């Protein structure tokens, strides 16, 4: 099983038709970046902007999300994390509290809210609670999955499609309205950071495929491999975030949105592979620690130029062509319309979002 696990790791980000093309977004440049770069801790003075803020992290019971929560809890006055399992959520809260220095001047209010991204009902319940927040300054969409085997959610969608894309899109709409609420023009903009994967660049959108065909391909167990399901869900998420950022007037609403990937990190995203010795050696050699990865989030959240950007570890990067190139514009617009149509059937889209999005929501 350990050898099979290594094979799956290689298939996910290395063994790909683009391997020997030397494309800027192919496996070799991604491997090189993962091997030669690590996110570095910020100086205390660089964290002052977090003081007194309210932050929310969807997906913070382990890995980079948990380490990010520890950093934010030391500076923010209120921190909300989400958990599928209430017990794991409480354990994470205790670990976060125990990580705080006894002499810290900030006494952060740390809460755990239930959220199951594979359930639209759970997402609806969560967004109703988000809508009651008096203010929100920072939101990080960090929840995601990669599974070896095909599975459907209780809503009958393939799980990568629902967790990594549809539910994330629905959350982003509610969070944007919360981030813009009660915010004066003089205050810093609310920031939404959508966590993706550098592996999105290994997927492409065939010229003849419509957005509906791409979305429906997830629900056929024979059409996509587990590697493609994960990477394609992240590509769609990248497109959604970019189009959302391009569509809203971030100055008028005083909110900003960007995408980020920590790069290969030692998290539980590959939990299906087990924890055998080969996996541990490969993860140790190829992946930065979760703590190192968490600093990339903080650096991205504090970037001077944030709106519409894509951050890979500590650097603002150009996403793959599907996300920005003119020849994919019709597909991107179609994807937005199709996604909003699906969300409208399962999640209540905030009324003011249609005004924010303009023609793209029609």
> Is residue 82 scored above 60 in pLDDT?
yes
Give the Cα separation of 330 and 173 in Å (integer): 22
| Average pLDDT of the residues in 10-36 | 66
Instruction: Name the residue among 138, 116, 137 with its Cα closest to residue 125.
Output: 116
> Is residue 358 scored above 50 in pLDDT?
yes
pLDDT band at 28 (very low <50, low <70, confident <90, very high): low
Per-residue confidence (pLDDT) for residue 279, from 0 to 100: 66
Provide the edge-to-edge strand list for the sheet that holds 109-114: 109-114, 78-83, 54-58, 138-141, 190-195, 255-261, 310-312, 315-317
59-78: pLDDT as tens digits = 999 999 999 999 999 999 99
Give the Cα separation of 269 and 144 in Å (integer): 7
| Average pLDDT of the residues in 98-124 | 89
Q: What percent of the chain has pLDDT over 90?
A: 60
Domains of the chain: 43-267+288-361 (3.40.50.720)
- 276 φ/ψ angles, rounded to the nearest 5 degrees: -70, 170
Instruction: Name the residue among 124, 181, 183 with its Cα closest to residue 347.
Output: 124
Give the Cα separation of 187 and 164 in Å (integer): 31
> Is residue 89 scored above 90 in pLDDT?
yes
173-182: pLDDT as tens digits = 999 989 998 8
Mean pLDDT over all residues of the chain?
Answer: 87
| Average pLDDT of the residues in 124-137 | 94
Q: Residue 65 contacts by C-beta under 8 Å, 6 or more apart in sequence?
A: 57, 59, 81, 140, 142, 143, 294
Per-residue confidence (pLDDT) for residue 178, from 0 to 100: 92
Give the Cα separation of 285 and 359 in Å (integer): 48
- Among 212-221, 288-297, 326-335, the minimum mean pLDDT is found in 288-297
> Is residue 1 scored above 50 in pLDDT?
no
Q: Between vectors from CA 277 to CA 273 and to CA 281, what angle results, nearest 5°? A: 90
Give the Cα separation of 56 and 82 in Å (integer): 8
Q: Residue 67 contacts by C-beta under 8 Å, 6 or more apart in sequence?
A: 290, 291, 293, 294
> Is residue 115 scored above 90 in pLDDT?
yes
Instruction: Name the residue among 136, 194, 127 with its Cα closest to residue 165.
Output: 194
Give the Cα separation of 201 and 238 in Å (integer): 10
Which residue in this structure is represented by tokens 């989400």? Answer: 82
| Average pLDDT of the residues in 161-172 | 97
Q: What percent of the chain has pLDDT over 70?
A: 85
Residues in the chain: 362
């Amino acid at each position: 099983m350990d050898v099979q696990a290594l094979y799956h790791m290689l298939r996910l980000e290395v063994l790909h038709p683009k391997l020997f093309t030397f494309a800027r977004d192919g496996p070799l440049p991604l491997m090189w970046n993962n091997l030669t770069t690590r996110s570095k801790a910020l100086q205390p003075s660089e964290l002052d902007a977090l003081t007194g803020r309210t932050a929310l992290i969807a997906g913070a019971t382990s890995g980079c999300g948990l380490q990010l929560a520890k950093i934010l809890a030391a500076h923010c006055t209120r921190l909300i994390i989400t958990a599928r399992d209430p017990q794991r959520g409480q354990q994470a809260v205790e670990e976060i509290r125990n990580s705080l220095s006894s002499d810290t001047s900030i006494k952060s209010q740390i809460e755990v809210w239930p959220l199951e991204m594979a359930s639209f009902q759970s997402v609806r319940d969560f967004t109703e609670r988000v809508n009651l927040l008096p203010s929100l300054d920072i939101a990080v969409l960090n929840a995601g999955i990669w599974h070896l085997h095909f599975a459907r959610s209780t809503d009958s969608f393939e799980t990568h499609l629902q967790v990594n894309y549809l539910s994330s899109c629905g959350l982003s709409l509610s969070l944007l309205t919360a981030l813009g609420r009660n915010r004066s023009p003089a205050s810093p903009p609310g920031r939404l950071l959508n966590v993706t994967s550098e592996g999105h660049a290994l997927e492409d959108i065939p010229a003849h495929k419509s957005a509906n065909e791409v979305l429906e391909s997830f629900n056929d167990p024979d059409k996509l491999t587990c590697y493609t399901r994960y990477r394609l869900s992240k590509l769609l998420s990248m497109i959604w975030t970019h189009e959302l950022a391009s569509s809203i007037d971030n100055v008028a609403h005083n909110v900003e949105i960007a995408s980020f990937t920590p790069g290969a990190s030692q998290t539980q995203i590959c939990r299906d592979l087990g924890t055998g010795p080969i996996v541990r050696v490969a993860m140790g050699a190829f992946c930065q620690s979760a703590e190192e990865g968490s600093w990339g989030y903080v650096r991205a959240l504090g970037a001077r130029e944030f709106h519409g950007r894509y951050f890979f570890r500590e650097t603002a990067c150009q996403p793959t062509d599907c996300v920005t190139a003119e020849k994919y514009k019709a597909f991107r617009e179609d994807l937005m319309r199709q996604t909003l149509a699906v969300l409208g059937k399962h999640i209540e889209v905030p009324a003011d979002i249609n005004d924010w999005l303009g023609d793209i929501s029609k």
